[in-house]
Amino acid sequence: MRQSLGQLLRHATVGVLALAAMWAPCGSAAAAPVAPAAPAPEADSLPFAQRYRAVQHGGIVRAANASATCLTGQSPCQDVQTGGPGVNGDFDMGYIDVDQDPNTYNSSRAEVRLPAGARVTYARLYWGGNLRVGEQKPSEDNGRVLIAEPGGEYKELLADTVVGHRVADGADAFQASADVTPLVRDSGPGLYTVAQVNVAMGRSAAGGWGGWTLVVAYENPAEPLRHLALWDGFAPLAGRSGAAMPLRDLPFAAGAGGRVGLVAYNGDRGTTGDSLVLDAGGSPTAFTDRANPFDDVLNSTVADPGDAPARVPAYANTLGYDSDVFDLEGGLPHAGDQATLRLSSQQDTAWAGVLFAAVDARQ
Query: Which strands sit side by side in the sheet containing 107-112, from one edge to the other?
Result: 15-17, 155-158, 144-148, 190-195, 107-112, 311-312
Taking only the tens place, the pLDDT of each residue in 138-197 is 999 999 999 999 999 999 999 999 999 999 989 999 999 999 999 999 999 999 999 999
pLDDT band of residue 363 (cuts 50, 70, 90) is confident
The secondary structure of 103-120 as a DSSP string is: T-S-EEEEEE---TT-EE
Q: Which of 107-121, 324-338, 343-357 has the highest mean pLDDT?
A: 107-121
pLDDT band of residue 22 (cuts 50, 70, 90) is very low
Predicted local distance difference test score (pLDDT) of residue 76: 92
pLDDT band of residue 330 (cuts 50, 70, 90) is confident
Section 318-324 average pLDDT: 98
Predicted local distance difference test score (pLDDT) of residue 23: 26
pLDDT band of residue 13 (cuts 50, 70, 90) is very low
Section 343-349 average pLDDT: 87
Taking only the tens place, the pLDDT of each residue in 80-96 is 999 999 999 999 999 99
pLDDT band of residue 24 (cuts 50, 70, 90) is very low
Instruction: Round to whole Å and give the CA distance between 213 and 65.
Output: 7
- Radius of gyration, CA atoms only, the chain: 19
Of 127, 284, 134, give the one whose Cα is nearest residue 200.
134
Measured CA to CA in angstroms, residue 53 lies from 123, 201, 230, 231 at distances of 12, 37, 6, 9
pLDDT at 79 over 80: yes
Section 53-68 average pLDDT: 98
Predicted local distance difference test score (pLDDT) of residue 346: 85
Looking at every residue in the chain, the average pLDDT score rounds to 89
Predicted local distance difference test score (pLDDT) of residue 241: 64
Predicted local distance difference test score (pLDDT) of residue 239: 61
This prediction has a pTM of 0.90
Predicted local distance difference test score (pLDDT) of residue 94: 97
Percent of the chain with pLDDT over 70: 89
Instruction: Round to whole Å and give the CA distance between 141 and 36.
Output: 13
Of 310, 52, 58, 17, give the one whose Cα is nearest residue 187.
17
pLDDT band of residue 249 (cuts 50, 70, 90) is confident
